Each structure stands twice: as C-alpha cells, then as structure tokens.
Structure 1
Amino acid sequence: MLKLHRPRARLRALAAAACTAALGATLLGVAGMSPAGATPAAQPAAAPAAAEAAPTTAGDKVIGYFTNWGTYDRNYHVKNIETSGSADKLTHINYAFGNVTGGKCTIGDSYADYEKAYTADQSVDGVADTWDQPLRGNFNQLRKLKKLHPDLKILWSFGGWTWSGGFGQAAQNPAAFAKSCRDLVEDPRWADVFDGIDIDWEYPNACGLTCDTSGRDAYGNLLGELRKSFGTDLVTSAITADGSDGGKIDAVDYAGAAKHLDWYLPMTYDFFGAWEAKGPTAPHSPLTSYPGVPTEGFNSDAAISKLKALGIPPEKLLLGIGFYGRGWTGVTQSEPGGSATGAAAGTYEAGIEDYRVLKNSCPATGKVAGTAYAHCGTNWWSYDTPETIGTKMNYKNEQGLGGTFFWELSGDTGNGELIKAIR
C-alpha cells in the first residue's frame, strides 16, 4: 500500500462480512502489512538435499518478529534490537514481510529491505553505508547484527494478514512457488543473511482478509515443496490459534504438515478486540478460559491442547506473546465483559497500542486468565506485562513447548522489559 507500514493488526470488519457467510468464524491472526515493492532479479541457487524436519530441543527458542515498515513511522531499526539488549536474548528473528504475488515469493519493500542508506549513528556497528555498496537497508543491518551475535538465526517471513491472499494461487503450483522462494531468500546479495523461511498464511482453507478455498491439503503440499527446496535450512509457519470446535485448526491437516516444519508458531493473541466496537471487553491474549469469555476455545491453552491432541510434538509448538494491547473506549466496568462505544485511540491505529506506551499511559489494574487488563478513565485495555509473561513461561515449560515467539520487537520498552521476562 502507498500509505506505508500499518501496524500489525488490520480492522477485521471488512473481512468479517465475507467470513461470516463462509465459516461463521471470528477472525484471528498476525500482522498488518507494508507496501508492495518490486521483485529483484533473483539468481538461482542450488538447493541442499531435502530432509524431513526433526523435533528440536524443547523450551529454548525466543523468536521476535521485526517489521520492515517499522523503519518508517515507528523509527525502529535493527540497531534498536542491539541497544535494547534484545539481541542477546533472541535465538531467532522473523523478518516481516515478504509478499506472495503471481504464485511466487516477492520482495515486500525494496527500499526498507535493501536500498535505504544508513548513517553512522543509525547503523548497528557505527559505520555508515556508502552510495556504491552492493547491499544496504535492513538486510545489511541484519548482516551486521549477526556478526555481533554469530548464533542468531534469521528467517524471512512471507504473507501476513494483508499479503496472504496470494497463497491460494501459489498452492496451485507449490513446486514453482517453493523454487521462487528459495531463489529469493538465497539471492547472492543477501544469502548469508537468512537461515530459512517462515510462512504466515492467514488462513488455509478458511477465512482471513479473504476466504481461501484451496482445500484441506493445499497447505501441507506447499510446505512439503518448501522443505524439498530448502533442505536442511529452517522452514517454519505461523498458524491460527482458533481452538474452538469446528474452527480454523480443523480446516487444515496441521498434524500431517508438521513433518515438513521445524516448528509452528500458533498466534495466541488477537482473540478479541475492538473490531467488536461495542464489546464486550475481553483480553486479547488469555492463557486460559474464564467465566464470561465471549467465545470458548479462544485462548492459548485451547489452541495448544488441540494441536497436541492432533499428534503434533509439543517441542514443535511455540507460545505466542503480543508486545501490544487491544482496547475499547466508553467503558465504565473495570472487569472484562463491559460494554463500549468503540475502539480506544492508538498511536498508529485505533484499538491497538504498544506495551511501551500502555505501561505508562494506562497501567494494569487487574489480571484475568493469565494476562492483564487496565481500566483508566473510560478506556479499557488488555495486554501482557512482565508478570503475566512469567505465568505464560511457566505454562510453556509445563507443556514442554519448544519456546516462545512474539509480535513484535518495536512494542517493547527501550531496555527490552518484555523480552527479559521471556528469557
């Protein structure tokens, strides 16, 4: 889009009308999107031998999403990952997003990705970009960050809430799609930056921003071809956390597709929000159910339990955390379940605000279902705090999950308050 870089969540109302007729499901998911950009002339790269993904060590992964559009309105750069202390605590970064168009993986924002020149004070290592260097932008800054942290892995994430519409076409020729992704991720200009690919398809055989009708097996077929193309490199996927009966988890063979993946990232946030303008108010990332929850199955434990019951190894499941809150205005009731008049004002979009802002502007006043909420004036917000993240980390350990991921890095405080609670 030409109005650049909306924050992660899209208003769900437009999609809800289409989805209600098709599935009658409430929308969930990650990621607003940044503008379309031109695809570079990718150079083919030899793919390593295919290998089925093996379960990895449980509990030790900490994965943060970094958005390319954050370099604009949010003024959040790769250097901030280092100066906040977050880089020391991350095991992986998911770079969001690449687009999916014409059945192929394509560049999301060429300027932010590899064209923007960084000055010395903006650069990770204090060295300014030159006009004639072959790679600039976020990709070069990520390369510098990896030099400081040799164990840090970076995956390029494709799709997201706005750009998932192209997956249906990609699924018609998954082998060609996989080759295009491999060629782009392994382009010689930045092949050393990325260690794999993350697929954020919202949602296979279900409704997201649009309704997908590619079929129950399309997702697994596409991931199978990606595994063949990427061999022993990382292949991961962010997926729905709709644990309701007949919900989005049931629409796809996630258990069958798991063999192609190193891990899943169930998006255990955005369960409720001010797209329901009049409420009832409800925490957007409850760990468990609670009396009065608007929709049963819309909580982290329901999603994790359902995915484990399908036979997916717990070490291939990560617990998702939102570094932001969702809120309403016109609220008189402090506890969840109150009525509202609309979405609370936010810095970038109504109804959503970063934790780094909310911790001061509307401090938490209560807890419910393993997360926090705040009632200040007539505004009502829900979000995670270091304390509630600690509760969720206990749950993650008890369940034997493979680790934690979060959306997204710029929502944390300047000293990495939330990621410290994870780590």
Structure 2
Amino acid sequence: MLSPTRTRASLLAAGAAVAALLSGSLSAGTAQAAPAPEAGTTAASPHESCRPEGLYSTPGVDVPYCTVYDNQGREKMGADHQRRIIGYFTNWRTGKDGRPAYLANNIPWNKITHINYAFAAIDSANKITVGADGPNNPNTGMTWPGVAGAEMDPAVPYKGHFNQLTKFKKLHPDVKTLISVGGWTDTGGYTDDATGKRVNSGGFYSMTTNADGSVNQAGINTFADSAVAFIKKYGFNGVDIDYEYPTTMKDAGHPADWTLANGRRAGLVKSYAALMKTLREKLDRAGAADGKHYLLTVAAPSSGYLLRGMETFQVQKYLDYLNIMSYDLHGTWNEHVGPQAALFDDGKDSELAGAGVYTTSQYGGIGYLNTDWAYHYFRGSMPAGRINIGLPSYSRGWKNVQGGTDGLWGKSAATNCPAGSGLTKCGDGAVGIDNIWHETDNNGVEAPAGFNPMWHAKNLERGIVPDYLPKFGLPANTSLTGTYTRKYDSTLVAPWLWNAQKKVFLTTEDEQSIAAKADYVVNKGIGGTMMWELAGDFDWNAAKGQFEQGSALTSAMYDKFKAAAPYGNKKSAPAPAMPTDVINVDVDFGQFALGDSNYPISPKLKITNNTKVALPGGTEFQFDYATSAPNNAKDQSGFGTTIVRSDHTGNNVGGLKGDFHRVSLKLPAWQTLAAGASVELDFVYYSPVSTPSNWTVTFGGKTYGIASDLARGVTVVEPTDGSGGPGGPGNGTCTAPAWTATGEYGTNAPVSHKGRNYKAKWWTKGDEPGTTGQWGVWTDLGAC
C-alpha cells in the first residue's frame, strides 16, 4: 500500500508481457499438505472447538485458540464488534515534516478492532527491522512534546509509536495490533538509517528464495524467529505479511526489485508457502508457551493478473484471516479512467473491454476489476468470516480525460511516464491541488497520480480552499479552477469527482459508498473491512469550515457492524451438508506454467490415496470452486469432469449471485487407486481460482469428506471399500489363488497377496501385486 503507482496488466490476455505498477500489500503462495490425522481420531486439544474452520494447526502443539476465538471458531472482538474494522496506521505521518500528524491518539480506538502497523522491513541479515533505536526513530524513539494525548507511558521501556500503541491498548484491550512487514517500498529492501535511502537488499525475495529458485529455508527460519521475538518484545498480537509480490508474472512489484526478483520467479510461490508454514508453526509454538494465540494475516491482491501467477493462492490454511486489497483497480499505470474500488462490475470497463473479457466466450463475460469478484475468488477456499474487504481512504486521478460519461470509462494518456516507474505507457496523472499526497522521485519531481486523502477530496467537492495547502507545497492563495462535481454510479457502487473544465477525474469513497459496502459485508457474512489508511479518513471542522482528518468512514462501518449477525464460519454452502466422516485423501493442483505462459490455466490435479484401502474404478470426487471463474472447467484425461451445480451463470454485472460451482469427476471404471498411490489428470480453467475446497469422495455406497479440508467437527476414519475393507463385508479369508513369483498369469487372472485381492490387466510373471502402481499390471480389488 504506499505508492501512487501499482503494477497492473490485462488478466487474461494470453501471452501479454505487460506489467504495470501497483502499490498495495499482498501475499500468495503454494501450500504443503497438513499431516494426515490417524483414522478414528478427533482433535485431542481442548482448544479445537475454538479453531476457525480451515485453519492449519501445528502438529503436536496445543494452540490456545480459545484466547482469541469462541467455541464456534469466530474471533472475539468485544460485544459491539461483530465484524472486523481494521485500520492501517503508518509510521511516517509524524508531523515532523510540518504536515498534519496522525498519531496513536488520533485513532478511533472505540470504533476499530485491529491496527496494522506499517511498515517493518527485512534487513540484510534476514531479520525483521524498524531501524536503529534513537530519538529520530518514529517507531521506538520519537516523542511529541506538548501534543495532548501523545505523552509517553513511562512504564514502557521504549518510546515512539510503539509506546503509544501499548499505552492505548491498556485502555482498549479488545483491540489487537499486528506488525505489517513489507509494503511497496520495503518488500525488496529497507531504508538505511544513515543515508535515508532505500537499500535494494532483496528483502522477501532473497530471504525466501535462493538465486536458483530453491527455498531458502535458513533465511525463512531466521526471519520467522526474529518476527516472533519482535512481537513479544513490543506487545503485538501477530504478524501481517505485505509481500509484493510472490508471483510468477514478470516485472511485478517495485521496479527497483525487478532485476533480482525476475530471476527467482519460478520459485517464489513455493518459497512463499514455506515462509507462511514456518511462520504459522513458530507462532503456534510461541502462543502455546505464552498461553495466547498469535495471529498471522496477509494483505492479498485483488488483481487478477497477479493472482494468475500465484497458482491457487494455496496459503489460506495458514492464515487467521486475509485482507483483500480491493482497491487500486484503476490508476495512472495505464490510460483507462475508472473507479479504483468499485464494488461491482457494470459490463462497461474500458480496460476489460479492450482485453476482450466481455466478448470472449471462455471468460463468461465476468469482469474482474471489482471488490465482489475478488471476494468471491477467496470465498472459493475460505469461510466468509476469514475474509475482509479493503477500502481506500485516498483518491486516484487523471487529468486531460477524453471521452467517457463525466470521465467514467474515458481515457487519459501521458506523453511521459514518471521516472523510476518502469512504465513506457501510462495515464496522465492529476497534479498540484489534485495530488497533495503526492510522492516524489529521487530528484524531487512530483509523481502525478491524483493521490489525495479523502478529507482533501471532500474539500474539493465542496469548493473549499483549505488552510493546509502551504504544508503540501501549494500557495495559501491558491484558487480552485472549475467545479468538482460529485458523481455516483449505483451499479458500480462508486463515487467520483468530475471537473469538466479541467477534465480531471478523481476517484473517491464517501458515506454512501461505504454504507453500501458495509451492507454487502453484513449480507454476505464477510469478516469485516480493512482501510488503507486511517490518516485518510475525514471529519468536518466547523470552526475552520473545512474537512480534516477524522473518522467518519470508520464510524459509518462501526454503526453498521455493531448489531450485525455473527460472520460466516463455514467453508461450504449451507446445503447440502458436508460429511462428518473424513478420509485421508490429499489433492493438489500443481505444475502450473509460469507467468504469461499460464493461459489457459492448465495445472495437473494430483489425487493421492493415503487410506488403507483401494479406491475402486468409478469412485466419484466432487469439489467446489469459486464463481469468480466461469463454469467451464474441464479435464483432458478421461475423468469426465462435469459441473453438477452452479450458484451463478452469465456475466457479473451488479455482482455474482452465489459462491460456488460444484464439480464432479470420476476414476475411470477400469482404474483403481491403490492405497498409497496417486493419480494425475490434466485440468483446464480460464480465470484464476483459489484452492478448490469442500471435497467429497464417494464409493462403496458412502460419501466422505477429506481431512485436508480442515473442517470443524469431523472424525477421520478408514473407509469401507465395498469388498472387504475396514468396516466392509469381507470375511477375512482370501479365496483367490495366492500369488507366487514364478507363476504365470493371463489377462483377468485373479490372485490374492498380503490380505488383498488383485486381477491381472495383461499377461504377467514376477510382478508383485501392490508394487506396480496405478498404471501397472495389477488392479487392486481391495482387502479380503
């Protein structure tokens, strides 16, 4: 989150080697299977009843979930907080530069549930860092003499923002704080205390991934150990990872990182999974020792382009929850003028239209540059309550906009792109009074982006010339040119300001759009909202006759959420109910092509039978994937993949109507999946999906769930195989001839061996049954 620019590219334009610039915090990766529980067991931990559905629990550790969650697996946040209200609190708005300060005493502590503190970085030794201690360090050393409410707590052994957060948490013990690591600037480096300049050290990229693309487990362990020690030292409740970006898409993230990161792209997804697993396990062990559960979260992308290079975002199971950066969906990284945080698609997005998304049949007409699409992407693999949608408290904007309706879906092309942006084509960003939160390049040149706190946008809307302009380098006698007229599209749920005289378009967020998004959160059972950043929220200062920093948007969310029903805590749809008996069958989507080669999206689906019985031919597997992708997934391996239920069909104008497509596929009739064996099939789909979930396996007259879905209230069992497996009708006697190493067996010849029956597929001699695998000569008919 922190830069006026972000990398974006057309999601589904196959072969497009495009990368535009994005600011925002995110995460992604590949997952490793959880250790399989023993059959006949339920969780032994007394805290299991409080574990959120789908959350991985470190083996052998009694994680104290009940210190954070209730017995339904929902987070405890205070009686008047049924949904999360998360605010990013940044360390650079100290007021020492003459601009308005935003300190801990400005936070609306009674209205929020969580604070993400931005940002910590990773130093050259792979450890978390917020810089060297000293009076100029805003995190641990700075003070604000004479500022009411910003007095230091003398009982706390450090100063700065950390002292203030600790002080106010004593007064508001339900509010949790997390240290956010990374962000746009600090993902691939850190700021040198002596020079004040960024050191391009590699950060997340080199800490997690070696130059050859292999996992840097030593670096990951060092970082994770330092992160655990850090939160314990400074009193944080957890770690928020803002890694931008572990994707295979070339030129994603900060341009200064491209040289190093691009060489590691093939390994970033795997190493990100290793990072998240390591953090989860070390936090779990620390939490068990300390008697309190520590949170692990990420800021996740809403960009379909980035998500396409993140496989199926397989790290969900390690996260308490994720925050979607459902903003920066349009900005001056290209010429397309539109809202940066629309709730819904309207079927008219000029960027999507230009990429053929609305007209190419495989895409189903589904527009993916909106919050609803991003929410449903993650809903395919997580309970709604472990997802929070992002809200911007800042604007983005263009000047010299041509066409569109009041600028909406018009175009604005720049002749020169900002230095250091890595772009050769970009939008013509608004500047001056339309860009007061602007950043500058290394030469002090303004980055044009229409980047403003929402309180400044409100003043422009009202035609007010505020008194703070000199603090942002503008003359006090600055006058406004033209009228900034508020516009609102109810289909998109998006307001903006349009200055017809200047041809300036500024995205905004206000009371009407926030109310609609809060209603959406409540109605969908979503966990809550995350705001980047608290300092952009507004209130009216009647004495001065202008808008200033405040909490109007935060208060609007609080008022909507305080009496809401509890959030959704189940991964699956309400009906039909998922089985409570689950078996150890593992599934994995892997072997994705890299970057722009990954279209159509064609992974291998690997199914592994970790039970003690064979799965017979005809065994049916069903699973859900998100309606953010069209209902046209298929396989190319003869497993007969069909869509057996769709909660949404057609385009998504005004929103997706349901959460899941239900898929069925079957083992071919001639094929048995032996105990311990795996089978792979070629799978194909056309828009990114998060990890498919809610699996069932049906054979022998019974349907089971799978243990790796990590559902609540289930029992791991050994299945009945229908021909004598555990719980089946077998009589314990093998009547088929016993196999011998010297015997010769023709096609369909029956034998028994080590308590199981087999049938030969072709003539064989010397091939031991149970050792030849699924493609071998022997078909496993089950126990006898």
TM-score normalized with structure 2 length: 0.46
Question: For residue 357 of structure 1, what is the aligned residue in structure 2?
Answer: 456
Q: How has the CA–CA distance of structure 1 residues 335 and 348 changed in structure 2, closer, same or farther, with 3 Å as cutoff? A: closer
State the AA in 1 paired with 2:338. A
Question: For residue 172 of structure 2, what is the aligned residue in structure 1?
Answer: 149
1:139-288 equivalences in 2 (<5 Å): 139-165=162-188, 166-171=203-208, 172-173=216-217, 174-187=220-233, 190=234, 192=235, 194-206=236-248, 207-209=252-254, 210=258, 211=262, 213=265, 214-231=267-284, 232-243=293-304, 247-252=305-310, 256-276=314-334, 279-288=335-344
1:30-179 equivalences in 2 (<5 Å): 30=24, 49=61, 51=63, 56-57=74-75, 60-71=83-94, 72-73=96-97, 74-82=99-107, 86-102=108-124, 104-110=126-132, 111-124=137-150, 127=151, 134-165=157-188, 166-171=203-208, 172-173=216-217, 174-179=220-225
Equivalent position SS for 1:331:
coil
Q: How has the CA–CA distance of structure 1 residues 24 and 56 changed in structure 2, closer, same or farther, with 3 Å as cutoff? A: farther
Equivalent position SS for 1:69:
coil
Does the aligned pair in 2 maintain the 1:64–1:409 contact within 8 Å? yes
Does the aligned pair in 1 maintain the 2:240–2:297 contact within 8 Å? yes
Q: How has the CA–CA distance of structure 1 residues 96 and 307 changed in structure 2, closer, same or farther, with 3 Å as cutoff? A: same
Pairwise CA distance, 1:398: 2.2
For 1:271 and 1:50, the matched residues in 2 are separated by: 41
For 2:402 and 2:459, the matched residues in 1 are separated by: 20
Alignment partner of 1:422 out of 553, 557, 579:
557
For 1:308 and 1:27, the matched residues in 2 are separated by: 26
Equivalent position SS for 1:9:
coil
Q: How has the CA–CA distance of structure 1 residues 95 and 133 changed in structure 2, closer, same or farther, with 3 Å as cutoff? A: closer
Pairwise CA distance, 1:348: 2.7
Does the aligned pair in 1 maintain the 2:246–2:269 contact within 8 Å? yes
Q: How has the CA–CA distance of structure 1 residues 312 and 133 changed in structure 2, closer, same or farther, with 3 Å as cutoff? A: closer
RMSD over aligned CA atoms reads 2.9
State the AA in 1 paired with 2:205. G
Pairwise CA distance, 1:402: 0.8
Q: How has the CA–CA distance of structure 1 residues 408 and 356 changed in structure 2, closer, same or farther, with 3 Å as cutoff? A: same
**Post-superposition CA distance 1:213-239 (Å, at most 9, x none):** 133222222111111111220110001
Alignment partner of 1:393 out of 515, 518, 537:
518
For 2:512 and 2:506, the matched residues in 1 are separated by: 16
Question: For residue 36 of structure 1, what is the aligned residue in structure 2?
Answer: none
Identity, in percent, stands at 28
For 2:148 and 2:312, the matched residues in 1 are separated by: 41
1:335-346 equivalences in 2 (<5 Å): 335-340=407-412, 342-345=428-431, 346=435
Does the aligned pair in 2 maintain the 1:103–1:167 contact within 8 Å? no
Q: How has the CA–CA distance of structure 1 residues 50 and 115 changed in structure 2, closer, same or farther, with 3 Å as cutoff? A: farther
State the AA in 1 paired with 2:506. W
For 2:556 and 2:312, the matched residues in 1 are separated by: 30
Does 2:3 correspond to 1:9?
yes
Does the aligned pair in 2 maintain the 1:68–1:109 contact within 8 Å? no
Equivalent position SS for 1:286:
coil
Does the aligned pair in 2 maintain the 1:217–1:253 contact within 8 Å? no
Question: For residue 373 of structure 1, what is the aligned residue in structure 2?
Answer: 496
Equivalent position SS for 2:315:
helix
For 1:415 and 1:297, the matched residues in 2 are separated by: 32
Q: Structure 2 unaligned segments of length 5 or more: list them.
A: 26-59, 77-81, 189-202, 209-215, 285-292, 353-366, 415-427, 439-447, 463-484, 539-548, 559-784
Q: How has the CA–CA distance of structure 1 residues 50 and 184 changed in structure 2, closer, same or farther, with 3 Å as cutoff? A: farther
Question: For residue 643 of structure 2, what is the aligned residue in structure 1?
Answer: none
**Post-superposition CA distance 1:247-282 (Å, at most 9, x none):** 322333555311111101110000111222xx2311
Pairwise CA distance, 1:321: 0.1
Equivalent position SS for 2:228:
helix
For 1:394 and 1:151, the matched residues in 2 are separated by: 24
Pairwise CA distance, 1:177: 2.0
For 1:52 and 1:9, the matched residues in 2 are separated by: 38
**Post-superposition CA distance 1:14-37 (Å, at most 9, x none):** x98xxx999535444416xxxxxx
Question: For residue 301 of structure 1, what is the aligned residue in structure 2?
Answer: 372
Larger Rg: 2
Equivalent position SS for 1:138:
helix
For 1:266 and 1:314, the matched residues in 2 are separated by: 12
Does the aligned pair in 1 maintain the 2:246–2:272 contact within 8 Å? yes
State the AA in 2 paired with 1:400. G
Structure number with the higher helix fraction is: 1
**Post-superposition CA distance 1:183-231 (Å, at most 9, x none):** 22223xx2x3x11110001111242123461332222221111111112
The one of the two structures with greater contact order (alpha-carbon pairs below 8 A, sep at least 6) is 1
Q: How has the CA–CA distance of structure 1 residues 116 and 298 changed in structure 2, closer, same or farther, with 3 Å as cutoff? A: same
Q: How has the CA–CA distance of structure 1 residues 105 and 292 changed in structure 2, closer, same or farther, with 3 Å as cutoff? A: farther
State the AA in 2 paired with 1:422. M
Question: For residue 3 of structure 1, what is the aligned residue in structure 2?
Answer: none
State the AA in 2 paired with 1:344. A
State the AA in 1 paired with 2:348. G
Does the aligned pair in 1 maintain the 2:332–2:429 contact within 8 Å? yes
Does the aligned pair in 2 maintain the 1:219–1:252 contact within 8 Å? no
Pairwise CA distance, 1:396: 1.4
State the AA in 2 paired with 1:261. L
Does the aligned pair in 2 maintain the 1:50–1:229 contact within 8 Å? no
Question: For residue 611 of structure 2, what is the aligned residue in structure 1?
Answer: none
Pairwise CA distance, 1:381: 0.5
- Larger displacement relative to structure 2 (357-366 or 316-325): 357-366
For 1:415 and 1:319, the matched residues in 2 are separated by: 21
Equivalent position SS for 2:338:
coil
Does the aligned pair in 2 maintain the 1:118–1:136 contact within 8 Å? no
State the AA in 2 paired with 1:197. V
Equivalent position SS for 1:265:
strand
State the AA in 1 paired with 2:322. Y
Question: For residue 35 of structure 1, what is the aligned residue in structure 2?
Answer: none
| Aligned length, in residue pairs | 382
Equivalent position SS for 2:316:
helix
- Larger displacement relative to structure 2 (164-173 or 207-216): 207-216
Pairwise CA distance, 1:285: 0.8
Does the aligned pair in 2 maintain the 1:52–1:259 contact within 8 Å? no
Q: How has the CA–CA distance of structure 1 residues 160 and 128 changed in structure 2, closer, same or farther, with 3 Å as cutoff? A: closer
Question: For residue 42 of structure 1, what is the aligned residue in structure 2?
Answer: none
Does the aligned pair in 2 maintain the 1:57–1:402 contact within 8 Å? no
